[in-house]
């Protein structure tokens, strides 16, 4: 593994105002070897005008989804097609990352030589974790996911080579977990960071 691997952050968007907060949360990461792929799911490129001033930054790529069916899974697939990093994560355009999120996830990857590491998300209004968990950081196995030990919304870092061309099923609106399970099956174990 490289000492300072590139991490690709895919931000699927439909041009919502919250996109700026999501993008700035990535730009403000303590880990700097990043590429940011903003994939726009609007035919008229609605998001571009919102982020125009950021596009001079060479680590930001702006792409319009012309290849896949419009919707959450198709737009994410478009982003996956453009990643060049050794690891990747997906950040919806209405979410933000805390400043050291990628650094913390990558530290876990490197310490345990994991291909998938994930951490909890925090509901900003309720101030509570969005994912079901057992209150501690621990190794996670494919069977744990099959048995429902972890459910809900998380943020993860995944080794890009696991994709092997696999993509989200466009016919399954909101069924992103199908791809995640396929990737987990390939690696068998990862790590949950209780943060």
Range of lowest pLDDT (77-81, 88-92, 191-195): 191-195
- The one-character DSSP state at 54 is G
pLDDT above 70 (res 162): yes
The predicted model gives 74-98 an average pLDDT of 96
Dihedral sign of CA atoms 77, 156, 14, 84 in order: negative
pLDDT of 126: 75
**Residue 31 Cα to chain centre, angstroms:** 15
pLDDT of 106: 97
Q: Is 162 helix (H, G, I), strand (E, B) or coil?
A: helix
> Token match 């390939």: residue?
186
Given a contact cutoff of 8 angstroms between Cβ atoms, the answer to whether 51 and 119 are in contact is no
Q: Is 25 left (phi over 0), alpha (psi -120 to 50) or beta?
A: alpha
pLDDT above 80 (res 178): yes
Given a contact cutoff of 8 angstroms between Cβ atoms, the answer to whether 166 and 182 are in contact is yes
The predicted model gives 61-78 an average pLDDT of 95
The predicted model gives 5-13 an average pLDDT of 98
User: 108-140, pLDDT tens digit by residue?
Assistant: 999 999 999 999 887 777 777 777 777 889 999
Average pLDDT, the chain: 92
Find, among 35, 30, 32, 17, the residue nearest to 79 by Cα. 35
pLDDT of 1: 58
pLDDT above 70 (res 53): yes
pLDDT above 80 (res 2): no
Within 13 Å and on the Cβ side, how many CA atoms surround 90?
22
Q: Which token pair is 159?
A: 């080794």
Q: Choose between 81 and 128: higher pLDDT.
A: 81
pLDDT above 70 (res 182): yes
pTM: 0.94
């Amino acid at each position: 593994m490289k000492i300072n691997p590139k991490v690709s952050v895919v931000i699927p968007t439909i041009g919502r105002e919250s996109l700026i907060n999501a993008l700035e949360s990535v730009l403000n990461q303590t880990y700097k070897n990043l590429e940011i792929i903003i994939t726009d799911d609007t035919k008229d490129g609605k998001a571009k005008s919102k982020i125009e001033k950021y596009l001079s930054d060479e680590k930001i790529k702006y792409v319009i989804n012309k290849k896949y069916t419009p919707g959450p899974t198709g737009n994410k697939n478009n982003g996956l097609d453009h990643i060049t990093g050794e690891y990747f994560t997906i950040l919806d355009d209405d979410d933000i990352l805390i400043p050291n999120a990628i650094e913390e996830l990558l530290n876990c990857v490197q310490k345990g030589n994991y291909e998938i590491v994930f951490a909890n998300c925090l509901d900003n209004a309720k101030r509570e974790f969005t994912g079901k968990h057992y209150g501690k950081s621990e190794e996670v196995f494919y069977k744990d996911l099959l048995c429902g030990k972890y459910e809900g919304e998380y943020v993860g870092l995944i080794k890009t080579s696991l994709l092997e061309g696999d993509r989200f099923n466009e016919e399954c609106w909101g069924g992103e977990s199908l791809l995640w399970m396929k990737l987990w099956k390939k690696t068998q174990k990862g790590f949950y960071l209780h943060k």
